[in-house]
Amino acid sequence: MVEPLEQIFASCKVERKELIPLLQEIQEKLGYLSDDAMKAAAEFLHIPPSAVYGVATFYNQFRFVPAGKHPLKICLGTACHIQGSKLIMEAMERELDIKAGNVTPDHEFSLDRVACVGCCALAPVIIDKKTVYPRMTPFKVEEVLALLKEENAHGRLPTNEP
Amino acid sequence: MEAELVTLTIDDIKVKAKKGIKVLDAALGAGIYIPHLCYLPEAEVPLASCRLCYVEIEGRGMVTACTELVAEGIVVHTHNPRIDRLRHTTMRLILANHPIDCSSCPRNRDCELQRIAAYLHIKLGNPSGSPSLKGDLGGFREMPLRDLPIDDSHSLFIYDPNKCVLCGKCVMICNERMGVGVLNFIFRGYNTRVGTFREIPWGEAGCISCGACVAACPVGALVPKNIKVLSFTTSPGCYDAPLHHHIHSPGDR
């Protein structure tokens, strides 16, 4: 757990302005910001952990729990919003029984909102890693989840990755 | 050697002030009140977060008195319709999500917000319906009050983020003056509050219980637990001493 961090620290200057790039790299490596990683970053930059936490909570890009096996992102950008993405989000929250920004207790799914992923012609969309599920409806949300759950059960990865 | 003095005019009164101090400091020193919530004389970079201490300096325009340095011959106005309008707007925004249940607040009658509201002739008590607030400054959106958890884990004081005006004094003091750094602003926007790393309860977060943050809080967000039997002083300039210097039981006086 500590080792990948030391690699990151080795290529980082001890300057406060390096905090955000540092946190981004940690998140890239670990998938999230663990308490220990944030404390280590604070110690490395000689600032209090509360200052690291303050910055990390300010930005939506940082997460404090590992993302699920399927990090689902629902686009709430302009085009998706017009096409009713709010209903998609509500359907997903209902189906997974979690709120946006959280992870299911079995760590299979995490749910986040994003603002535009650049494929507005397919609105409204759900993104799972690199897979785009286009033209969603609340009913199709159930279909997608059923599909993913089945794949999880059979240990297969989604086949329609680009 | 005495510090170099400059002479400035504040509201037609000639004021002598040490070179290098802020206009707000000079005014307060001369007994001229300018409303302020976030001013800390020691802060090298002023917080300037409350935006209440607007004054007009001839030639410089509308400026915050806590950020402007005194200079020879400047003419400062602390009162005119434009300044009042700006302050009213600022105050309205600060009060927008501040619970006005003063009678049940431990800081009732010892609250900077109340003092400033009185100064600006803003009636507290009914924040949304108050005619004095709605009159010239209607059109602000109604804000729901915050519903954040109160932290009473510390043995000496309570933090109620719902009453916090986010002036940043406690954060500045904890980090800069005390060098403890237990406190910082966490989250963003309407959810911003003063908090600790991972929102660990304050009582367990490594707080050294100096009480400097409690003494500096201008409102009822940070209050000693035993305030009912103790009196509490926050007059400007005397909040440097630790908590026990500020609270005296009634028998002491």
Long-range interactions of B81-85: CB distance < 8 A, separation 24+: B82/B56, B83/B54, B83/B55, B83/B56, B84/B120, B85/B136
Q: Percent of chain B at pLDDT above 90? A: 63
Does B225 score more than 50 pLDDT? yes
In this predicted structure, what is the pLDDT of residue A60?
86
In this structure, the number of other CB atoms found within 10 A of the CB of residue B28 comes to 19
Question: Can you give the residue ranges of every domain in chain B?
Answer: 5-77, 81-137, 157-252
CB pairs under 8 A between A and B: 45
Q: What is the mean pLDDT of chain A?
A: 90
**Range B42-61 average pLDDT:** 92
Q: How confident is the model at residue B221 (pLDDT cuts 50, 70, 90)?
A: very high
**DSSP-based three-state secondary structure for A114:** strand
Q: Do B195 and A52 touch (CB under 8 A)?
A: no
Residues of chain A with C-beta less than 8 angstroms from the C-beta of B213: none
Tens digit of each residue's pLDDT (9 = 90 or more) over A46-61: 999 999 999 999 998 8
The class that CATH gives domain B5-77 is alpha beta
**Range A63-72 average pLDDT:** 91
Residues of chain B with C-beta less than 8 angstroms from the C-beta of A59: 188
The class that CATH gives domain A2-58 is mainly alpha
Q: Do A48 and B180 touch (CB under 8 A)?
A: yes
Kindly state which CATH superfamily the domain A70-154 is placed in: Glutaredoxin (3.40.30.10)
Establish whether domains B5-77 and B157-252 are of one fold.
no
Does A29 score more than 50 pLDDT? yes
Q: How far is B194 from chain A (nearest CA, A)?
A: 9
Q: Do A50 and B188 touch (CB under 8 A)?
A: no
Q: Which of A35, A48, A57 sits opposite B186 (nearest CB)?
A: A57
Q: What is the ipTM of this complex?
A: 0.80
Rounded to two decimals, the pTM is 0.80
Give the DSSP letter string of B70-118: P-TT-EEES-SHHHHHHHHHHHHHHHTTS---GGGSTTTTS-HHHHHHH
Q: Do A53 and B183 touch (CB under 8 A)?
A: no
Cα angle: B199, vertex B202, B205; to 5 degrees: 80
Q: Do A48 and B197 touch (CB under 8 A)?
A: yes
Q: How far is B129 from chain A (nearest CA, A)?
A: 33
Does B122 score more than 90 pLDDT? no
Would you call B190 an interface residue with chain A, using a CB distance cutoff of 8 Å? Answer: no
3-state helix, strand, coil in chain B (%, to 5): 30, 15, 55
Does A35 score more than 50 pLDDT? yes
Tell me which of A10-14, A149-153, B233-237 is least confident.
B233-237
Residues of chain A with C-beta less than 8 angstroms from the C-beta of B186: 50, 53-54, 57
Q: How far is A45 from chain B (nearest CA, A)?
A: 14
Q: Does domain B157-252 have CATH number 3.40.50.1220?
A: no
Question: Can you give the residue ranges of every domain in chain A?
Answer: 2-58, 70-154
**Range A147-158 average pLDDT:** 76
Q: Do A50 and B187 touch (CB under 8 A)?
A: no
